[in-house]
Amino acid sequence: MEYTQLGRTGLKVSRLVLGTMNFGPQTDEPDSHAIMDAALDAGINFFDTANVYGWGENKGRTEEIIGNWFAKGGGRRDKVVVATKVYGNMGADGPAWPNHDKLSALNIRRSVDASLKRLRTDHIDLYQFHHIDRATPFEEIWQAVDVLVQQGKVLYAGSSNFPGYKIAQANEIAARRGGTIGLVSEQCLYNLAERRAEMEVVPAAQDYGLGVIPWSPLHGGLLGGVIKKEVQGGRRASGRAATALNDSAVRAQVQAYEDLLDKHGIEPGEAALAWLLTRPGVTGPIVGPRTAEQLASALRAVELELSPELLAGLDEIFPGPGPAPEAFAW
């Protein structure tokens, strides 16, 4: 496994991030523990989760599964950089009570303590804001984070799904206040088929020293060889990928992508991950395996070298918007 610094910090993390969103809803606890053991054995030390994972009446279940795995001992907690998130409503089902979601100082304090209890740990390595909160000023957010850092409950703060201007605003206010070092990472939607992050989010992250952590690197399965699997009688596309393939232009684009990789003898899903690892500013993509086999496929991507010819071919099929402001101006 390869390692890199998380943004401008001294923290070393693996080039693949283990996403845990499937733990609970799709993967039971024993299998989830087996996947985490396999990831750790392979050198993956960066695990990502969120307080809302488990969803619905099972919100928080994913953090509990990870906490139970930590409790097995064997140095599991010490070896892992654990990242979780705050923003979503964690109150009882039904209408949300005030202050049970978003980024008020009250909800941040409440949510950290609840996540620590579920994760069965005394600190969170990377605490991420799952979305922007237009109603809460960053002065309040950073004041809450400063207290948590002083208490030893949180080490670093990161963002998720932030636009470029909010990354800038958050870090400028952090610098003006002193104390916290501000955001050190941004977790965003970024893959071959969805490259809008290259316009402003990735440049903002690079300018402010944030590590970029792409989520949905296979774009909901669209980049994982979905047409090839259909033809071979395997698992059919579902959800976002199935909807996208109903568009003939998208289907032709994905077919061209799969044909190109077939020519080079490379599996589509592995190529999509390997491509992200070549992108400037990217710390590592989040892989969310439901099975040990899917984890093994993701691990192969770290060793995969994409030739200049192949990279050029991928850019031709999925050109991306280009940098801002040139992408939308002269």
**Structural domains present in the chain:** 3-221+268-307 (3.20.20.100)
Q: What percent of the chain has pLDDT over 70?
A: 96
pLDDT tens by residue, 5-37: 999 999 999 999 999 999 999 999 999 999 999
- Confidence class for position 46, pLDDT limits 50, 70, 90: very high
Residue 89 has pLDDT above 70, yes or no: yes
Beta-bridged to residue 133, according to DSSP, are none
Residue 242's pLDDT band (boundaries 50, 70, 90)? confident
CA dihedral 153, 156, 18, 229 (to 10 degrees): 130
Distances (CA, A) of 33 to 11, 24, 277, 308: 25, 11, 26, 38
Helices within the chain (DSSP H only): 29-41, 61-70, 76-79, 105-119, 138-151, 164-177, 201-207, 226-231, 239-245, 248-264, 268-277, 292-303, 308-317
Tokens describing residue 249? 């232009």
Quote the pLDDT of residue 235: 66
281 torsion bin: left (phi>0), alpha (psi -120 to 50), beta (else):
left
Structure confidence at residue 149 as a pLDDT band (50, 70, 90): very high
Residue 325 is predicted with a pLDDT of 94
Q: In this model, does residue 236 exceed pLDDT 90?
A: no
Q: Is the model's pLDDT at 69 over the cut of 90?
A: yes
| Mean pLDDT within 184-194 | 98
Confidence of residue 291 (pLDDT cuts 50, 70, 90): confident
**Active-site residue numbers?**
53
How many angstroms separate the CA atoms of 161 and 283, rounded?
A: 16
Tokens describing residue 43: 């050198």
Residue with tokens 């087996």, as numbered in its chain: 34
What does DSSP assign to residue 210? P
Tell me: pLDDT of 142 over 90. yes
**Stretch 158-180: mean pLDDT:** 96
Question: For all residues of the chain together, what is the average pLDDT?
Answer: 94
Sort strands 81-86 and 124-129 into parallel, antiparallel or unpaired.
parallel
pLDDT over 90 percentage in the chain = 86
pLDDT at 188 over 80: yes
